[in-house]
Amino acid sequence: MTDTQQNQLWGGRFTESTDAFVQAFTASVNFDKRMYAQDIRGSIAHATMLAEAGVLTDAERDAIIEGLNTIKGEIERGEFQWSVALEDVHMNIEARLTDRIGITGKKLHTGRSRNDQVATDIRLWLRDEIDFIDGEMKRLMEGFLGLAEREAATIMPGFTHLQTAQPVTFGHHLLAWFEMIRRDRERLADCRKRVNRMPLGSAALAGTTYPIIRERTRELLGFDEVCFNSLDAVSDRDFAIEFCALAALCMTHLSRMSEELVLWTSAQFQFINLPDRFCTGSSIMPQKKNPDVPELVRGKTGRVNGHLIALLTLMKSQPLAYNKDNQEDKEPLFDAADTLKGCLRAFADMIPAIEPNREIMREAARRGFATATDLADYLVRKGIAFRDAHEIVGKAVAHGVASKKDLADMSLSELQQFSNEIGEDVFDVLTLEGSVSARNHIGGTAPEQVRAAVSRSRQLL
């Protein structure tokens, strides 16, 4: 490639070619070429608008659109020759278009800059990613609901401080996970609103002197509105930061779930089994079945958190308007989206396949005096102040620790030594089933409420 060819798109002002190292150092084509479809879509809309505005003839528009569609096919068939010398996806496609259709290809860039072009491409790309991620979130939520409905009455210990607290149902626990992803999906939809604003037409930073019709381009590209300030439009990356923030929070939720899955599959808990297809073995210990999928999801959370910090740091000192710094926005954004998609897919596939060990869960709930609060509530209903009831139950638990008996295993006479108000009916509240069934209100762990929550949540989806 000659110096003239190398600089054909912007080299008029330069008297020497770019240093080879600088050329490679400043190029972005190796990663931004994944936006080729969005770049071509934006260019087709731009050419269509320019023709309607009288800047291009209909024949020029048709030649440009045909040429762009041909290039899209070349890229998808792996025939397109990407050039680092042409820096980025935009210049590679434009140069190829000019090779194919001649001088008309050079007219495509009329009324726009790479600054508003790349800002538009990123938004189009991220909008497509958001729509795909939304589908994976929905699929995961459906998995939670199906398993929660199936396990609405399965009793397990609920924990605080990772210590047995009160009995809950496995279905209720799964619905807590559902609520986490429901909030993430709401944030995703809210983020999409700000992604779906069109920078195209802002040109380099000040707009353009050509009679462009921005509303027509917006309509063709499916944006909700145009960006109203050209300086802000070409330099704004808030939408990318916002996406990475919601991705980091969603990954945090998946990481919390992963931690519990890792614990529950351990020999110390044995609450659940994961199918072999979601696990791996050890090269030296033949007995091992490692929960690698949740472990890896847990680990990838730090990766996405890092991308969020990278973008915040990237933007923190930039003056208006566009700066070359913003070339560094794509790799963190791309990887954050890829990582979130992969983790959501893994979970959406894995969650419905979980096999709970119901008897082990129930037996674990019997340990740790899980119904102590139920006994305190029982005494309150007998007219004892809660703080006094708390003390009485504390003494009963101390007796249970010493005698190695759960509250439900003590005789009536044993319980009555701590309060004369305790009667035969106390055993109705000390059973695990009685405990969970008593919490029969919206948001409670009772099986009836779990099933109602599943039905209500399906309507939300």
Query: 266, 282, 403, 455: which is the annotated catalytic residue?
Result: 282
Query: Which pLDDT tens digits describe the chain residue by residue (461 residues)?
Result: 344 444 556 566 666 677 888 888 989 999 999 999 999 999 999 999 999 999 999 999 999 999 999 999 999 999 999 999 999 999 999 999 999 999 999 999 999 999 999 999 999 999 999 999 999 999 999 999 999 999 999 999 999 999 999 999 999 999 999 999 999 999 999 999 999 999 999 999 999 999 999 999 999 999 999 999 999 999 999 999 999 999 999 999 999 999 999 999 999 999 999 999 998 888 888 788 899 999 999 999 999 999 999 999 999 999 999 999 999 999 999 999 999 999 999 999 999 999 999 999 999 998 888 889 989 999 999 999 999 999 999 999 999 999 998 888 899 999 999 999 999 999 888 889 999 999 999 999 999 999 999 999 999 88
Please give the domain boundaries of the chain with CATH numbers for all domains: 3-110 (1.10.275.10), 115-362 (1.20.200.10), 368-460 (1.10.40.30)
Q: Is the previous residue joined to 438 through a cis bond, with omega within 30 degrees of 0? A: no
Is 161 considered catalytic here? Answer: yes
| Signed CA dihedral, 335, 341, 345, 351: sign only | positive
Cβ atoms 313, 102 nearer than 8 A: no
Q: What residues have CB less than 8 Å from 19, skipping those under 6 apart?
A: none
Using DSSP bridges, classify how beta strands 225-226 and 272-273 pair: parallel, antiparallel or unpaired.
unpaired
What's the rounded Cα separation, in Å, for the pair 302 and 144? 24
Backbone angles phi, psi at 88, to 5 degrees: -145, 180
**Alpha carbon 363 to chain centroid, angstroms:** 35
> Mutual orientation of helices 330-350 and 238-265 as an angle, nearest 10°?
30
Query: 17, 83, 161, 437: which is the annotated catalytic residue?
Result: 161
* pTM for the structure as a whole: 0.92
Cβ atoms 61, 151 nearer than 8 A: no
